[in-house]
Amino acid sequence: MIDNIIKNIAKTAISSFKRMATSYPVARNANDTGLHKIEFTPKDPFQLVQKWYDEFETDNYIAKNSFCLSTAAKSGRVSARNLILRRLDKDGFVIMTDSRSKKVREMEENPMAAMTFLWVVQQNELVLSRQVRAEGLIKRLPYEEWKDIYDNEPLFAKIRAYLCYQGQEVDWDEARQEHDKIYNKFQAGNLDLSVKPDHVVAYKMKPDMLEFYESLGPRIADRVMYLMGELGWKEPRRIWA
């Protein structure tokens, strides 16, 4: 799956990414320099998350929604993996996963996690890079709050939910036989894939820190950080890139 994500991102970078435009002046040669600036800094940082998400114009769902999730066990050992964002809410990020996975074990042991989104495009022979980092608590959602996500899964994804024990060793030939068995039962009407397996779960991160990084060509990048306070989001701070 990760190989497909990388290939799709590379393919999209060459073609449809070019449509993401800004009005910033750009440097034209290696001897040019300057400071880039993130102009839009609303009180609610999720407005900026949504703006950048919407401006990443591509028909490639995977490229637009891929991000890195980092978790840590109680021992302090950190692990990271690329996932697909299932829903962007006004106050957080929703993922779907396997409750038997390493990531879930770590999120239950230590519910503090980090997410990183990277959107890179080619614009007028220059590279426009946007990164969003989020840190905060990540908690399991009740099924009624994300039932539509599972309901809208394609056939292969629902079969995967019944077939895979995420992170466990598997024999490929045995896995193929089990896949075909599940598929044949579904085709014969003996298996209702609309019924979610109990181990398929969803989590939502409501961050208490959001950081935005943007660079364009040979200009020094800009970063803006938001921190959550007792009464809501504090005023954004501009920090060195």
Could you read off the pLDDT tens digit of each residue along the chain, which spans 241 residues? 444 444 454 444 434 444 454 444 454 566 778 999 999 999 999 999 999 999 997 767 788 999 999 999 999 999 999 999 999 999 999 999 999 999 999 999 999 999 999 999 887 788 999 999 999 999 999 999 999 999 999 999 999 999 999 999 999 999 999 999 999 999 999 999 999 999 999 999 999 999 999 999 889 999 999 999 999 999 999 999 9
Look at residue 61 in the predicted model and tell me its pLDDT: 74
pLDDT score at 29: 62
CA distance 55 to 214: 13
The pLDDT, as a whole number, for residue 83 is 98
* 225-234 tens-digit pLDDT: 999 999 999 9
* pTM reported for the whole predicted model: 0.86
Q: How far apart are CA 136 and CA 111, in angstroms?
A: 8
Contact 226, 47 (CB under 8 A): no
Sorted by where each starts, the structural domains of the chain and their CATH numbers stand as 2-20+33-149+198-240 (2.30.110.10)
Q: Rounded distance, CA 65 to CA 117, Å?
A: 8
pLDDT at 16: 43
Cα distances (Å, whole numbers) of residue 127 to 85, 144, 188, 218, 237: 24, 41, 51, 9, 25
Give yes or no for a contact between 83 and 95, defined as CB atoms under 8 angstroms apart: yes
Nearest to 126 by CA among 34, 225, 53, 58: 34
Cα distance between residue 49 and residue 57, in whole Å = 14
pLDDT of residue 57: 73
pLDDT digits (tens, 9 = 90+) for 58-91: 767 788 999 999 999 999 999 999 999 999 999 9
